[in-house]
């Protein structure tokens, strides 16, 4: 009887889904870090890692800059831990302004994706989860875009004009709001792609208690903040204005000025939670430093962090090898190679003529324009 009472109390003390999304500004959940919230943060981080794992950064590939995997099997092929619970609705693309980049579709890069909970999971949970996931910087070309330190008016994101509009960093806005009429994939900007898709999903799932989580790491975190604001300002309002939108960001650089922060905070259904490593230089960018960091090390810290004064102890089981998935942080004594997530034989296969060639993508993984 006592054990049952203890279990019931534990269940009752678990935060609700709205509380995980910040309805109470995560009051009482952050220090110490609540276990359910910790798991939710790790899930968001794993969503982010998928963008890095799927990105084709092989300059020898005719599809460099695209996703290695199509949306039908995307989450399964990147080994996302909850692949059976979510379905990818669309891949998102952004444009690079660098004229030296030679890729599968000139000046176009895979930049993220939108996933929703499956019908079965939605029925079980009583809610439709919508995740918007942005990729962080993976190529040197993208730093050319983001290395624009000037703060510019956020007017393109505002529903109505303002005499003194808030300002955001020029680099983030360019990536989010630029289109390329010469590209099959970028006739719509990343922003327009996302707006169109979320508008469709909110209409489709209007009776299924929808919520939106926007997540990203580094550059992806900056895009997550911009797009979360944009969705609340320009899309959610057309669907009753009460759909919760939460940005869960990792190592986020500065996005805008104080006026932009005030604009964000004016929306009660918009919440932002930032996870950062105190030693990570990216949150101080711009202009101090440029660089790319994988999420593996940060998520390992999330799995075992117990406050500034607490002792590190992992309480959510994760393979230690994930730390080195796209970096080389672990000590050599662990015998886990750095940057071990690579295509088998770097994508090379032996053809029927006896030649080693780059393996072409499966038909289901070929890039397909989704927005025209």
Q: Which helix (H) or strand (E) is 140 found in, with range?
A: helix 140-146
pLDDT computed for residue 141 by the predictor: 54
The tokens describing 212, both together, are 């939106």
The tokens describing 179, both together, are 């289109």
Q: In this predicted model, what pLDDT tens digit does every residue of 194-239 receive, in sequence order?
A: 999 999 999 999 999 999 999 999 999 999 999 999 999 999 999 9
When pLDDT is averaged across residues 279-284 and rounded to a whole number, the result is 46
Task: Give residue 282's pLDDT band: very low, low, confident or very high (50, 70, 90).
Answer: very low
b/e per residue, 325-359, with b = 16+ CB within 10 A?
A: bbbeebeeeeebeeeebeeeeebeeeeeeeeeebb
pLDDT computed for residue 292 by the predictor: 44
pLDDT computed for residue 283 by the predictor: 46
Judge whether residue 115 has pLDDT over 70.
yes
Strand order in the sheet with 108-117: 86-95, 108-117, 128-134, 210-217, 245-250, 270-275
pLDDT computed for residue 106 by the predictor: 54
Q: How far apart are CA 337 and CA 351, in angstroms?
A: 29
Residue 214 sits at the vertex; the CA angle it makes with 275 and 54, to the nearest 5 degrees, is 90
Task: Give residue 363's pLDDT band: very low, low, confident or very high (50, 70, 90).
Answer: very high
Please give, one letter per residue, the 3-state secondary structure of 48-104. Answer: HHHHHHHECCCCCCCCCCCECCCCCCHHHHCCCCCHHHEEEEEEEEEECCCCCCCCC
C-beta of residue 72 within 8 angstroms of C-beta of residue 333: no
pLDDT computed for residue 105 by the predictor: 53
Q: In this predicted model, what pLDDT tens digit does every residue of 167-187 receive, in sequence order?
A: 999 989 999 999 988 888 899
Instruction: Note every long-range contact of 156-164, with CB atoms under 8 Å and residues 24 or more positions apart, other chains counting.
Output: 156/191, 157/226, 157/229, 157/230, 157/233, 157/234, 158/233, 159/233, 159/234, 159/237, 164/259
Task: Give residue 101's pLDDT band: very low, low, confident or very high (50, 70, 90).
Answer: very low
**Half-sphere exposure of residue 86, counting CA atoms within 13 Å on the CB side?**
26
Residue that has been written with the tokens 């209007």 in this structure: 206
Task: Give residue 261's pLDDT band: very low, low, confident or very high (50, 70, 90).
Answer: very high
Task: Give residue 140's pLDDT band: very low, low, confident or very high (50, 70, 90).
Answer: low
Minimum mean pLDDT among 56-60, 67-71, 104-108: which range? 104-108
Q: In this predicted model, what pLDDT tens digit does every residue of 27-46 receive, in sequence order?
A: 999 999 999 999 999 999 99
When pLDDT is averaged across residues 234-255 and rounded to a whole number, the result is 95
Of all residues in the chain, what percent carry a pLDDT higher than 70?
85
Of all residues in the chain, what percent carry a pLDDT higher than 90?
65
The better pLDDT of the pair 331, 247 is held by 247
Judge whether residue 361 has pLDDT over 90.
yes
Q: In this predicted model, what pLDDT tens digit does every residue of 315-359 receive, in sequence order?
A: 999 999 998 898 888 999 999 999 899 888 989 999 999 999 999
When pLDDT is averaged across residues 127-132 and rounded to a whole number, the result is 99
């Amino acid at each position: 009887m006592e054990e049952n009472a203890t279990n019931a109390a534990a269940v009752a003390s678990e935060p609700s889904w709205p509380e995980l999304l910040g309805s109470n500004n995560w009051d009482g959940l952050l220090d110490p870090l609540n276990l359910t919230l910790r798991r939710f943060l790790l899930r968001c981080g794993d969503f982010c890692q998928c963008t890095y794992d799927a990105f084709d950064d092989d300059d020898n590939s005719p599809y460099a800059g695209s996703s290695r995997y199509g949306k039908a099997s995307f989450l399964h092929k990147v080994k996302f831990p909850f692949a059976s619970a979510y379905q990818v609705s669309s891949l998102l693309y952004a444009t690079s302004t660098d004229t030296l980049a030679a890729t599968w579709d000139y000046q176009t890069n895979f930049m993220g994706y939108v996933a929703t909970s499956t019908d079965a999971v939605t029925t079980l949970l009583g809610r439709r989860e919508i995740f918007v996931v942005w990729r962080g910087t993976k190529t040197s070309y993208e730093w050319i875009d983001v290395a624009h330190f000037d703060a510019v008016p956020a007017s393109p994101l505002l529903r109505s004009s303002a005499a003194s509009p808030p300002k955001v960093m020029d680099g983030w806005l360019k990536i989010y709001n630029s289109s390329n009429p010469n590209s099959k994939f970028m006739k719509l900007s990343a922003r327009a792609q996302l707006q169109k898709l979320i508008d469709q999903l909110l209409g489709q799932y209007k009776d299924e208690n929808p919520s939106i989580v926007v997540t990203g790491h580094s550059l992806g975190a900056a895009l997550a903040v911009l797009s979360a604001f944009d969705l609340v300002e320009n899309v959610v309002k057309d669907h009753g204005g009460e759909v919760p939108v939460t940005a869960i960001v990792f190592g986020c650089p500065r996005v805008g000025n104080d006026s932009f922060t005030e604009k964000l905070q004016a929306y009660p259904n918009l919440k932002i939670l930032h996870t950062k490593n105190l030693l990570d230089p990216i949150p101080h960018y711009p202009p101090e430093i440029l660089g790319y960091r994988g999420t593996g090390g940060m998520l390992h810290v999330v799995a075992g962090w117990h406050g500034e004064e607490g002792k590190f102890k992992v309480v959510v089981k994760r393979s230690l090898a994930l730390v080195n998935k796209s970096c080389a942080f672990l000590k050599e004594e662990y015998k886990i190679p750095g940057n071990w997530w690579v295509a088998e034989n770097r994508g090379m296969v032996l053809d029927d003529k006896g030649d080693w060639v780059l393996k072409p993508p499966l038909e289901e993984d070929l890039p397909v324009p989704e927005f025209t």
